[in-house]
Copies of this chain bind each other. A is one copy, B any other.
Amino acid sequence: MNFASDNVTGAAPEILAAIAAANEGPAMPYGNDPLTKRLAAAFDALFERTVSAFPVATGSAANSLALACMAPPYGAIYCHPESHINMDECGAPELFTGGAKLVLIPGKAGKIAAADFKAALAGAGKGVVHHVQPAAISLTNETEAGTLYRPAEIAEIAAIAHEHGLFLHLDGARFANAVAALGVSSAELSWRAGVDALSFGATKNGAIGAEAVVFFEPKIAESFGYRRKRGGHLFSKMRFVSAQLEAYLKDGLWLRLARQANAMAKRLADGLAAIPGVELLFPVEANEIFARIPAAAIEGAFKDGYVFYRWQGERDEKCRFVCAFDSKPQDVDGLLASLRRHAQGAARKRA
């Protein structure tokens, strides 16, 4: 069983079915098809207002294209050191922005504290030509540590950003898990809290490759179409991307899928916490779990066929487990049993 990431999953059946259903006769390309137009209305409904939502196929594309609309080449984009845009996109934001700088603000449990952001801005040298100019802040929710920003936390950071003329980007590769876990509306966790642009993820939560960049601030959306095309991210047969998103949103599928992932993560976290020698590293608030596991237990579980990541290289005892929309109780319980058995074996040996 694979807990390495939610991107090891395949697709939800409803989404595969939607792709098949979209395959009916010719359709005008590049998003000029009826399905893509229909999708715009679905996003408006989801966010309870008019938005500009643009489908793309990968999260890196969503993030870096959104940021390119927000920051000039001489801009500074504030983000957490562990953020996906900083760590895991091989410099995609730098490519798409034309060389803007990611300025790192460390913080506990994957989160940026408002005070630290304020301090960073105070020392940024706004208006001084020697320094890159504060342009945007990018938060991730669900964070890379599996924790969550509440609407009020986002709002506090957004207020600072807007006061200083910055835009707020939210990397929502796991936005579904955040919304599902917090029990708030998509509007509350985005624009009502001050988010200007959202990378709305679907791939990790049941699509085969579909995300949407959702702009709540129309002026930053103006260049998006050109940037998406120029980035090679405008699909000619767009309907097949849009179909995934339409099915994802339909009848709350996306939240059902996310709730399953979150519930399995809770089950796993509770189980882990009960294993002697195991320590949860961050509050488990959605579908990712970080835990310190005795090396013997890690290796034992690996031998039993379980897959998950040692977080920083091959001797690290810090591990990440990700539950997904298709995780099953028996898989979680199997993993727990394996870890428990090997942890106990190791403890006995030491004793």
User: Taking beta carbons and an 8 Å cutoff, which residues of A are in contact with B?
Assistant: 1-2, 4-5, 7-11, 16, 19-20, 22-30, 56-65, 72-74, 87-92, 94-102, 104, 122-123, 129-133, 203-204, 208-209, 223, 225-237, 239-241, 307, 312-313
Residue of B5, B16, B89 touching A232 (CB-CB under 8 A): B89
Give CA–CA (A99, B71) in the complex, Å: 14
Q: Do A98 and B99 form a contact, CB below 8 Å, given A29-B5, A230-B91? A: yes
**CB–CB B129/A229 < 8 A:** yes
Nearest neighbor of A65 in chain B, beta-carbon distance: B232
Give A240 to B210 CA distance when docked, in angstroms.
12
Chain B proximity of A26: nearest CB distance (Å): 4
Contact partner of A234 (CB less than 8 A), chosen from B60, B104, B237, is: B60
Does the CB pair B209–A57 fall under 8 Å?
Answer: yes
Nearest chain B CB to A159 CB, angstrom units: 23
For A63, the chain B residues whose CB sits under 8 A away are 232
Whole-angstrom CA separation of A232 from B4 in the bound complex: 21
Q: What B residues does A232 contact at CB under 8 A?
A: 56, 58-65, 89, 92, 96, 231, 233
B223 touching A237 by the CB < 8 A rule?
A: no
Q: Is the CB of A7 within 8 A of B130?
A: no
In the complex, the answer to whether B74 meets A226 with C-beta atoms within 8 Å is yes
User: Looking at the complex, which one of B23, B204, B312 makes contact with A10 (CB distance below 8 Å)?
Assistant: B23
B61 and A74 form a contact (CB under 8 A)? no
- Residues of the B chain whose Cβ atoms lie less than 8 Å from the Cβ of A4: 28-29
**Which interface residue of A22, A29, A91 has the most chain B CB atoms within 10 A?**
A91
Q: List 17 A-B contacts (CB under 8 A).
A: A2-B26, A10-B25, A10-B27, A10-B239, A30-B129, A56-B232, A58-B235, A61-B232, A61-B233, A73-B94, A87-B130, A88-B130, A90-B132, A90-B226, A94-B101, A129-B225, A203-B237
CA distance in complex: A133, B307 (Å):
26
Contact in complex: A7, B73 (CB < 8 Å): no
